Protein backbone atom coordinates (compact mmCIF):
# COMPACT_ATOMS: atom_id res chain seq x y z
CA UNK A 1 0.00 0.00 0.00
CA UNK A 2 1.26 3.44 -0.85
CA UNK A 3 0.73 6.64 1.11
CA UNK A 4 -1.49 7.80 -1.83
CA UNK A 5 -4.20 5.44 -0.69
CA UNK A 6 -3.77 6.28 2.94
CA UNK A 7 -6.81 7.99 4.53
CA UNK A 8 -5.97 11.32 6.30
CA UNK A 9 -6.18 11.24 9.96
CA UNK A 10 -8.79 13.41 11.72
CA UNK A 11 -5.98 15.65 12.96
CA UNK A 12 -4.74 16.17 9.43
CA UNK A 13 -8.23 17.01 8.24
CA UNK A 14 -8.74 19.51 10.99
CA UNK A 15 -5.42 21.16 10.18
CA UNK A 16 -6.41 21.36 6.48
CA UNK A 17 -9.78 22.84 7.40
CA UNK A 18 -8.04 25.46 9.56
CA UNK A 19 -5.78 26.42 6.64
CA UNK A 20 -8.74 26.63 4.28
CA UNK A 21 -10.67 28.76 6.76
CA UNK A 22 -7.74 31.10 7.09
CA UNK A 23 -7.44 31.40 3.32
CA UNK A 24 -11.19 31.99 3.11
CA UNK A 25 -10.94 34.79 5.66
CA UNK A 26 -8.05 36.36 3.74
CA UNK A 27 -10.01 36.16 0.51
CA UNK A 28 -13.04 37.69 2.17
CA UNK A 29 -10.84 40.50 3.42
CA UNK A 30 -9.47 40.99 -0.10
CA UNK A 31 -12.98 40.97 -1.50
CA UNK A 32 -14.03 43.56 1.07
CA UNK A 33 -10.98 45.72 0.19
CA UNK A 34 -11.72 45.37 -3.50
CA UNK A 35 -15.36 46.23 -2.92
CA UNK A 36 -14.28 49.32 -1.04
CA UNK A 37 -11.94 50.25 -3.88
CA UNK A 38 -14.74 49.70 -6.37
CA UNK A 39 -16.99 51.91 -4.28
CA UNK A 40 -14.31 54.61 -4.16
CA UNK A 41 -13.73 54.38 -7.90
CA UNK A 42 -17.47 54.42 -8.40
CA UNK A 43 -17.70 57.60 -6.29
CA UNK A 44 -14.81 59.16 -8.15
CA UNK A 45 -16.44 58.25 -11.43
CA UNK A 46 -19.71 59.80 -10.29
CA UNK A 47 -17.85 62.88 -9.04
CA UNK A 48 -15.95 63.15 -12.31
CA UNK A 49 -19.13 62.87 -14.36
CA UNK A 50 -20.84 65.46 -12.18
CA UNK A 51 -17.80 67.68 -12.36
CA UNK A 52 -17.74 67.54 -16.14
CA UNK A 53 -21.47 68.13 -16.40
CA UNK A 54 -21.48 71.01 -13.93
CA UNK A 55 -18.37 72.60 -15.44
CA UNK A 56 -20.03 72.44 -18.84
CA UNK A 57 -23.20 74.00 -17.37
CA UNK A 58 -21.13 76.73 -15.78
CA UNK A 59 -19.31 77.38 -19.06
CA UNK A 60 -22.60 77.56 -20.95
CA UNK A 61 -24.07 79.91 -18.35
CA UNK A 62 -21.03 82.20 -18.40
CA UNK A 63 -20.85 82.11 -22.20
CA UNK A 64 -24.56 83.04 -22.39
CA UNK A 65 -24.04 85.90 -19.97
CA UNK A 66 -21.03 87.13 -21.89
CA UNK A 67 -22.83 86.84 -25.20
CA UNK A 68 -25.84 88.73 -23.82
CA UNK A 69 -23.54 91.36 -22.36
CA UNK A 70 -21.73 91.72 -25.68
CA UNK A 71 -25.05 92.02 -27.50
CA UNK A 72 -26.32 94.65 -25.08
CA UNK A 73 -23.03 96.51 -25.20
CA UNK A 74 -23.02 96.42 -28.99
CA UNK A 75 -26.62 97.62 -29.16
CA UNK A 76 -25.97 100.38 -26.65
CA UNK A 77 -22.80 101.34 -28.47
CA UNK A 78 -24.68 101.43 -31.78
CA UNK A 79 -27.52 103.47 -30.25
CA UNK A 80 -25.05 105.87 -28.64
CA UNK A 81 -23.15 106.17 -31.92
CA UNK A 82 -26.33 106.88 -33.88
CA UNK A 83 -27.57 109.33 -31.25
CA UNK A 84 -24.35 111.32 -31.38
CA UNK A 85 -23.99 111.14 -35.17
CA UNK A 86 -27.57 112.14 -35.82
CA UNK A 87 -27.62 114.88 -33.19
CA UNK A 88 -24.59 116.81 -34.37
CA UNK A 89 -25.44 119.10 -37.28
CA UNK A 90 -22.30 117.97 -39.06
CA UNK A 91 -22.60 115.84 -42.21
CA UNK A 92 -20.87 112.51 -41.56
CA UNK A 93 -20.26 109.77 -44.10
CA UNK A 94 -18.59 106.41 -43.47
CA UNK A 95 -17.33 104.48 -46.47
CA UNK A 96 -15.52 101.18 -46.90
CA UNK A 97 -11.93 101.66 -47.97
CA UNK A 98 -11.77 98.58 -50.19
CA UNK A 99 -14.85 99.11 -52.35
CA UNK A 100 -15.42 102.87 -51.95
CA UNK A 101 -18.98 102.16 -50.81
CA UNK A 102 -20.96 104.32 -48.38
CA UNK A 103 -22.02 102.21 -45.39
CA UNK A 104 -23.33 104.99 -43.14
CA UNK A 105 -24.51 108.57 -43.61
CA UNK A 106 -26.36 110.82 -41.18
CA UNK A 107 -29.26 113.15 -41.92
CA UNK A 108 -26.94 116.14 -42.25
CA UNK A 109 -25.01 114.27 -44.97
CA UNK A 110 -28.28 113.67 -46.86
CA UNK A 111 -28.98 117.39 -46.67
CA UNK A 112 -25.48 118.32 -47.83
CA UNK A 113 -25.59 116.02 -50.86
CA UNK A 114 -29.25 116.70 -51.57
CA UNK A 115 -30.15 113.04 -51.11
CA UNK A 116 -33.05 111.71 -49.05
CA UNK A 117 -33.67 108.71 -46.83
CA UNK A 118 -31.05 106.02 -47.10
CA UNK A 119 -30.28 106.63 -50.75
CA UNK A 120 -26.60 107.34 -49.98
CA UNK A 121 -26.06 103.83 -48.65
CA UNK A 122 -24.39 101.46 -51.07
CA UNK A 123 -23.30 104.22 -53.42
CA UNK A 124 -19.76 105.22 -54.22
CA UNK A 125 -18.57 108.28 -52.33
CA UNK A 126 -16.56 109.32 -55.40
CA UNK A 127 -19.90 110.08 -57.09
CA UNK A 128 -20.15 113.09 -54.82
CA UNK A 129 -16.67 114.46 -55.45
CA UNK A 130 -16.43 116.99 -58.29
CA UNK A 131 -12.78 116.27 -58.99
CA UNK A 132 -11.78 112.95 -60.52
CA UNK A 133 -9.14 111.13 -58.47
CA UNK A 134 -10.03 112.98 -55.25
CA UNK A 135 -10.79 109.71 -53.43
CA UNK A 136 -7.42 108.22 -54.39
CA UNK A 137 -5.63 111.35 -53.17
CA UNK A 138 -7.47 111.17 -49.85
CA UNK A 139 -6.53 107.48 -49.43
CA UNK A 140 -2.87 108.27 -50.10
CA UNK A 141 -2.99 111.07 -47.52
CA UNK A 142 -4.70 108.82 -44.95
CA UNK A 143 -2.09 106.13 -45.60
CA UNK A 144 0.68 108.66 -44.99
CA UNK A 145 -0.82 110.71 -42.16
CA UNK A 146 -3.42 108.51 -40.48
CA UNK A 147 -5.78 111.35 -39.66
CA UNK A 148 -6.43 114.03 -42.25
CA UNK A 149 -7.70 117.45 -41.20
CA UNK A 150 -9.06 120.37 -43.23
CA UNK A 151 -9.13 118.65 -46.63
CA UNK A 152 -10.95 121.15 -48.84
CA UNK A 153 -13.04 119.76 -51.65
CA UNK A 154 -15.90 120.59 -53.95
CA UNK A 155 -18.80 118.16 -53.94
CA UNK A 156 -21.93 117.61 -56.00
CA UNK A 157 -25.35 118.45 -54.64
CA UNK A 158 -28.45 117.01 -56.30
CA UNK A 159 -26.10 115.99 -59.09
CA UNK A 160 -26.16 119.42 -60.74
CA UNK A 161 -25.12 122.02 -58.17
CA UNK A 162 -22.03 122.13 -56.01
CA UNK A 163 -21.05 122.56 -52.41
CA UNK A 164 -17.73 123.43 -50.86
CA UNK A 165 -16.54 121.75 -47.69
CA UNK A 166 -13.52 121.22 -45.55
CA UNK A 167 -13.37 117.56 -44.54
CA UNK A 168 -11.93 115.89 -41.44
CA UNK A 169 -11.07 112.25 -42.15
CA UNK A 170 -10.41 109.42 -39.71
CA UNK A 171 -9.75 105.74 -40.45
CA UNK A 172 -11.93 103.42 -38.38
CA UNK A 173 -13.22 99.87 -38.26
CA UNK A 174 -16.96 99.81 -38.88
CA UNK A 175 -18.82 96.46 -38.81
CA UNK A 176 -15.40 94.75 -38.85
CA UNK A 177 -14.43 96.45 -42.15
CA UNK A 178 -11.69 99.07 -42.61
CA UNK A 179 -13.53 102.32 -43.30
CA UNK A 180 -13.07 106.06 -43.48
CA UNK A 181 -15.16 108.48 -41.46
CA UNK A 182 -15.55 111.85 -43.15
CA UNK A 183 -16.97 114.82 -41.24
CA UNK A 184 -17.86 117.75 -43.48
CA UNK A 185 -17.79 121.40 -42.56
CA UNK A 186 -19.94 123.10 -45.17
CA UNK A 187 -18.09 126.06 -46.65
CA UNK A 188 -20.57 126.81 -49.43
CA UNK A 189 -21.97 129.95 -47.80
CA UNK A 190 -18.48 131.15 -46.97
CA UNK A 191 -17.36 130.51 -50.52
CA UNK A 192 -20.38 132.32 -51.95
CA UNK A 193 -19.79 135.20 -49.53
CA UNK A 194 -16.14 135.28 -50.63
CA UNK A 195 -17.18 135.37 -54.29
CA UNK A 196 -19.74 138.11 -53.62
CA UNK A 197 -17.16 140.01 -51.59
CA UNK A 198 -14.61 139.70 -54.42
CA UNK A 199 -17.25 140.75 -56.96
CA UNK A 200 -18.24 143.72 -54.81
CA UNK A 201 -14.61 144.63 -54.31
CA UNK A 202 -14.09 144.55 -58.07
CA UNK A 203 -17.13 146.78 -58.56
CA UNK A 204 -15.81 149.20 -55.96
CA UNK A 205 -12.39 149.24 -57.61
CA UNK A 206 -13.97 149.89 -61.00
CA UNK A 207 -16.17 152.65 -59.57
CA UNK A 208 -13.17 154.19 -57.88
CA UNK A 209 -11.21 153.99 -61.10
CA UNK A 210 -14.05 155.69 -62.94
CA UNK A 211 -14.26 158.38 -60.26
CA UNK A 212 -10.51 158.89 -60.33
CA UNK A 213 -10.60 159.07 -64.09
CA UNK A 214 -13.40 161.58 -64.00
CA UNK A 215 -11.63 163.62 -61.35
CA UNK A 216 -8.34 163.46 -63.18
CA UNK A 217 -9.94 164.62 -66.44
CA UNK A 218 -12.80 166.89 -65.34
CA UNK A 219 -14.82 168.67 -68.01
CA UNK A 220 -16.58 171.76 -66.66
CA UNK A 221 -19.10 173.60 -68.82
CA UNK A 222 -18.76 177.16 -67.51
CA UNK A 223 -20.83 178.99 -70.12
CA UNK A 224 -22.70 178.20 -73.26
CA UNK A 225 -20.29 176.50 -75.69
CA UNK A 226 -17.30 177.03 -73.42
CA UNK A 227 -15.83 174.16 -71.42
CA UNK A 228 -12.86 174.11 -69.11
CA UNK A 229 -10.63 171.16 -68.30
CA UNK A 230 -8.37 171.92 -65.35
CA UNK A 231 -5.58 169.38 -65.06
CA UNK A 232 -3.85 168.72 -61.75
CA UNK A 233 -0.86 166.47 -61.08
CA UNK A 234 1.49 164.54 -63.30
CA UNK A 235 0.32 163.49 -66.71
CA UNK A 236 1.59 160.25 -68.13
CA UNK A 237 0.72 158.71 -71.50
CA UNK A 238 -2.28 156.82 -70.16
CA UNK A 239 -3.74 159.89 -68.48
CA UNK A 240 -3.01 161.93 -71.59
CA UNK A 241 -5.17 159.49 -73.61
CA UNK A 242 -7.93 159.82 -70.99
CA UNK A 243 -7.69 163.63 -71.28
CA UNK A 244 -8.18 163.41 -75.05
CA UNK A 245 -11.09 161.01 -74.70
CA UNK A 246 -12.86 163.08 -72.02
CA UNK A 247 -12.29 166.35 -73.79
CA UNK A 248 -13.73 165.07 -77.07
CA UNK A 249 -16.71 163.61 -75.21
CA UNK A 250 -17.18 166.96 -73.40
CA UNK A 251 -17.10 168.88 -76.69
CA UNK A 252 -19.82 166.65 -78.10
CA UNK A 253 -21.91 166.71 -74.97
CA UNK A 254 -21.82 170.49 -74.48
CA UNK A 255 -21.52 171.45 -78.14
CA UNK A 256 -18.48 173.42 -77.13
CA UNK A 257 -16.76 175.85 -79.48
CA UNK A 258 -14.01 176.86 -77.10
CA UNK A 259 -12.05 174.60 -74.81
CA UNK A 260 -9.85 175.98 -72.07
CA UNK A 261 -7.18 173.47 -71.08
CA UNK A 262 -5.77 174.75 -67.82
CA UNK A 263 -2.49 173.13 -66.77
CA UNK A 264 -1.78 175.37 -63.76
CA UNK A 265 -1.64 172.27 -61.56
CA UNK A 266 0.64 170.27 -63.83
CA UNK A 267 4.21 170.40 -62.47
CA UNK A 268 6.06 168.64 -65.31
CA UNK A 269 5.38 168.35 -69.01
CA UNK A 270 7.73 166.18 -71.02
CA UNK A 271 7.86 165.72 -74.77
CA UNK A 272 5.52 162.75 -74.70
CA UNK A 273 2.84 164.65 -72.79
CA UNK A 274 3.33 167.74 -74.96
CA UNK A 275 2.79 165.60 -78.07
CA UNK A 276 -0.34 164.10 -76.54
CA UNK A 277 -1.70 167.54 -75.72
CA UNK A 278 -0.93 168.58 -79.29
CA UNK A 279 -2.91 165.65 -80.59
CA UNK A 280 -5.76 166.49 -78.20
CA UNK A 281 -5.90 170.04 -79.47
CA UNK A 282 -5.88 168.82 -83.10
CA UNK A 283 -8.68 166.38 -82.36
CA UNK A 284 -10.70 169.14 -80.68
CA UNK A 285 -10.14 171.28 -83.75
CA UNK A 286 -11.51 168.50 -85.93
CA UNK A 287 -14.59 168.49 -83.70
CA UNK A 288 -14.95 172.22 -84.38
CA UNK A 289 -13.61 173.55 -81.10
CA UNK A 290 -10.75 175.97 -80.51
CA UNK A 291 -8.42 175.15 -77.63
CA UNK A 292 -6.83 177.70 -75.35
CA UNK A 293 -3.99 176.54 -73.11
CA UNK A 294 -3.73 178.41 -69.83
CA UNK A 295 -1.70 178.25 -66.64
CA UNK A 296 1.65 177.32 -68.09
CA UNK A 297 4.06 177.54 -65.19
CA UNK A 298 7.58 178.84 -65.55
CA UNK A 299 9.02 175.37 -65.14
CA UNK A 300 6.71 173.96 -67.80
CA UNK A 301 7.48 176.85 -70.14
CA UNK A 302 11.23 176.24 -69.67
CA UNK A 303 10.82 172.55 -70.34
CA UNK A 304 8.84 173.18 -73.50
CA UNK A 305 11.50 175.57 -74.78
CA UNK A 306 14.31 173.21 -73.75
CA UNK A 307 12.68 170.29 -75.47
CA UNK A 308 12.09 172.39 -78.60
CA UNK A 309 8.38 171.74 -78.57
CA UNK A 310 6.52 173.94 -80.98
CA UNK A 311 3.31 175.33 -79.47
CA UNK A 312 3.34 178.38 -81.71
CA UNK A 313 0.07 177.33 -83.29
CA UNK A 314 -1.60 177.00 -79.96
CA UNK A 315 -3.26 179.87 -78.11
CA UNK A 316 -1.48 179.99 -74.79
CA UNK A 317 -2.44 182.43 -72.07
CA UNK A 318 -1.11 183.09 -68.61
CA UNK A 319 -4.07 182.10 -66.47
CA UNK A 320 -7.59 180.76 -66.53
CA UNK A 321 -9.22 184.16 -66.06
CA UNK A 322 -7.46 185.60 -69.11
CA UNK A 323 -8.31 182.48 -71.02
CA UNK A 324 -11.98 182.84 -70.13
CA UNK A 325 -12.07 186.45 -71.27
CA UNK A 326 -10.38 185.43 -74.52
CA UNK A 327 -12.88 182.64 -74.99
CA UNK A 328 -15.88 184.92 -74.49
CA UNK A 329 -14.50 187.44 -76.89
CA UNK A 330 -13.82 184.79 -79.48
CA UNK A 331 -17.48 183.89 -79.33
CA UNK A 332 -18.44 187.54 -79.74
CA UNK A 333 -19.56 188.08 -76.19
CA UNK A 334 -18.99 191.65 -75.09
CA UNK A 335 -17.88 192.16 -71.55
CA UNK A 336 -18.81 195.36 -69.83
CA UNK A 337 -17.93 196.61 -66.36
Partner 1 sequence: MEIKGTNYHVTYDSTTATVALQGTLRLRGINEYDPIVELLDDVTAQEPETITLNLQNLQFLNSSGINILFKFVIQIREQGSSKLVVRGSTKIPWQKKSLQNLQRLMAGVQLEWGE
Rounded Cα distance, 166 and 185, in Å: 5
Shortest Å, Cβ 45 to partner 1: 13
Q: Parallel, antiparallel, or unpaired: how do β-strands 258-265 and 226-232 relate?
A: parallel
Q: Which residues bind partner 1 (CB under 8 A)?
A: 47, 50-51, 54-59, 61-62, 65
47 vs 203 by CB, closer to partner 1: 47
Shortest Å, Cβ 62 to partner 1: 5
Name the strand (E) or helix (H) holding 200. Answer: helix 188-216
Decide: 236 and 273 in contact? Cβ < 8 Å. Answer: yes
> How would you label 81-119 residue by residue, b for 16+ Cβ within 10 Å and e otherwise?
eeeebeeeeebbbbbbbeebebbbbbebbbebbbbeeee
Residues β-bridged to residue 177: 174
Shortest Å, Cβ 42 to partner 1: 14
54 vs 286 by CB, closer to partner 1: 54
49 vs 214 by CB, closer to partner 1: 49
65 vs 224 by CB, closer to partner 1: 65
Decide: 326 and 292 in contact? Cβ < 8 Å. Answer: yes
Q: What are the C-alpha distances in Å from 220 to residues 207, 214, 284, 320?
A: 20, 11, 15, 13
Shortest Å, Cβ 77 to partner 1: 20
Backbone angles phi, psi at 146, to 5 degrees: 85, -85
43 vs 271 by CB, closer to partner 1: 43
The three-state (H, E, C) secondary structure of 201-266, written as one string: HHHHHHHHHHHHHHHHCCCEEEECCEEEEEEECCCCHHHHHHHHHHHHHHHHHHCCCEEEEEEEEC
Shortest Å, Cβ 95 to partner 1: 38
43 vs 124 by CB, closer to partner 1: 43
67 vs 162 by CB, closer to partner 1: 67
35 vs 61 by CB, closer to partner 1: 61
Shortest Å, Cβ 80 to partner 1: 23
Q: What are the C-alpha distances in Å from 236 to residues 191, 205, 241, 272, 320?
A: 39, 21, 9, 8, 23
Shortest Å, Cβ 47 to partner 1: 6
Shortest Å, Cβ 55 to partner 1: 5
Amino acid sequence: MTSKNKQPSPEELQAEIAVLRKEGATLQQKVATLQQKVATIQQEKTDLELLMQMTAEHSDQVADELYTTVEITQRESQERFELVINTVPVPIIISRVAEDVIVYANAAADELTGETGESLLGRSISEFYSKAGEREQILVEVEAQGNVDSWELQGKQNGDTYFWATVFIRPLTFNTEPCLLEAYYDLTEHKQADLERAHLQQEIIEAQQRAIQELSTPVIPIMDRIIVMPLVGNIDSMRARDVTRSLLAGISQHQAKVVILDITGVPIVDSGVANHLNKTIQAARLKGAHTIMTGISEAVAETIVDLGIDWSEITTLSDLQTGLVFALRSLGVKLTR
